[in-house]
Amino acid sequence: AQPDLSVRPQPPRSCEDYWWEWKHCRGLRHAFHHYYAHGELPACGRWRDDYEACRAWERGRAAAAQVPGPGLRRPRLKYAPVWKLRKSPPPDWYLPLDQEKPN
């Protein structure tokens, strides 16, 4: 059985949420932070496209106006820890560090 493509689900968020995300993404503070953290300016066009698609869905329930769910937006990368996590501090944690002793 073929799914009914004329019935489209509502976008996962309100259109104002997409508008706010787009305005926030374009803000100077966010752009500076993103540039500092990632070395490039943020790509904000997708938020604007999602906002326009949401408005198109509200106006005519357009089939082409599908807004992807939040899980499709930015895949989160999971990294392994850089070092082994401890359950408790070392037994001699309170002693002064011996800078001259080799490891």
Place of tokens 């895949």: 75
pLDDT in tens, 1-46: 555 545 555 667 788 888 999 999 999 999 999 999 988 988 999 8
**Domain locations along the chain:** 15-65
68 pLDDT tier (thresholds 50, 70, 90): low
Phi-psi region of 75 (alpha: psi -120 to 50; beta: other; left: phi over 0): beta
* pLDDT at site 71: 44
Q: What is the mean pLDDT of residues 45-65?
A: 79
Question: What pLDDT does residue 69 have?
Answer: 52
The one-letter amino acid at 1: A
